[in-house]
């Protein structure tokens, strides 16, 4: 497979993906010039590119990314701590071929500060979800989840430290399911009719 990873931050999930899919990550793209994720990619000898997110919104970013993805013959896009919402046009074009990881058991606690949301809700456990990306915020169909306990006295810090290893296992496992054709989203309207003529 030819994978692209989009990351805005630290890049620990990127590191797990690089380890699990050696030679298959074609390009790493970040909207943040100084993202540690870009550094990690470069250190691993992977093409790492900054594409700015213009103040006007997603359109110019997505056009630039689309050009990069097609010239690198990317077949699967993996969001890993990519902190922006992609537009419906982009997510439809990549339907079933774009994944994200989120640090909660979706549909619980979508969006920002998922660990804090779990703690504030008094959850006894939380986890992570790898899911197909649609135009909503963490709303796409779930591929795979892993559960971790919340412990008394947990803070965002301790909880995220316990959860992160589960994320690093879950993401490559989910990617394998998709690459093997064992996980796929519900068809979009018209998709089946189009395939069967």
**Pairwise CA distance, residues 37 & 24, whole Å:** 17
Taking CB positions, which residue lies at the least distance from ligand GRF?
81
Residue from 132, 167, 174, 183 that binds ligand GRF (CB under 6 A)?
167
DSSP secondary structure, 35-102, as one string:
-HHHHHHHHTT-EEEE----TT-HHHHHHHHHHHHHHTT--EEEESS--SPPPHHHHHHTTTSEEEEE
DSSP secondary structure, 94-133, as one string:
TTTSEEEEESS-TTSS-SS-HHHHHHHTT-SEEEEEEEE-
Q: How many Å separate Cα 177 from the centre of its chain?
A: 15
| Contact in structure between 138 and 106 (CB atoms under 8 Å) | yes
CB of 85 to ligand GRF, least distance (A): 12
Per-residue contact track with ligand GRF, 78 to 117, x per CB under 6 A? --xx-------------------xxx--------------
- Toward ligand GRF, which CB reaches closer, 102 or 146? 102
Residue from 6, 11, 18, 30 that binds ligand GRF (CB under 6 A)?
11
> Binding residues for ligand GRF, how many (CB under 6 A)?
14
Residue 138 interacts with ligand GRF (CB under 6 A): yes or no: no
Per the structure block, which two tokens stand in for 31? 């909207």
Which of 102, 115, 131, 168 is catalytic? The answer is: 102
159 is in an annotated binding site: no
Residue 6 interacts with ligand GRF (CB under 6 A): yes or no: no
Please list the active-site residues: 102
Q: Residues in the site for ligand GRF, rule: CB under 6 A?
A: 7, 9-14, 80-81, 101-103, 128, 167
């Amino acid at each position: 497979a030819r994978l692209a990873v989009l990351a805005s931050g630290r890049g620990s999930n990127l590191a797990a993906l690089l380890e699990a899919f050696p030679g298959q990550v074609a390009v790493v793209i970040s909207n943040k010039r100084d993202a540690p994720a870009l550094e990690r990619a470069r250190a691993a000898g992977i093409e790492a590119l900054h594409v700015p997110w213009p103040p006007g919104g997603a359109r110019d970013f997505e056009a630039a990314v689309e050009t990069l993805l097609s010239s690198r013959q990317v077949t699967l896009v993996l969001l890993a701590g990519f902190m922006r919402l992609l537009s419906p046009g982009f997510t439809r074009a990549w339907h079933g071929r774009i994944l994200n990881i989120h640090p909660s058991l979706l549909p619980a606690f979508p969006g920002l500060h998922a660990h804090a949301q779990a703690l504030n809700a008094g959850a006894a456990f939380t986890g992570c979800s790898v899911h197909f990306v649609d135009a909503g915020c963490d709303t796409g169909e779930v591929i795979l989840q892993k559960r971790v306990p919340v412990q008394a006295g947990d803070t965002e810090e301790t909880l995220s430290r316990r959860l992160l290893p589960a994320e690093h296992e879950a993401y490559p496992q989910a990617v394998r399911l998709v690459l093997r054709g064992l996980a796929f989203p519900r068809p979009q309207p018209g998709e089946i009719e189009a395939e069967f003529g």
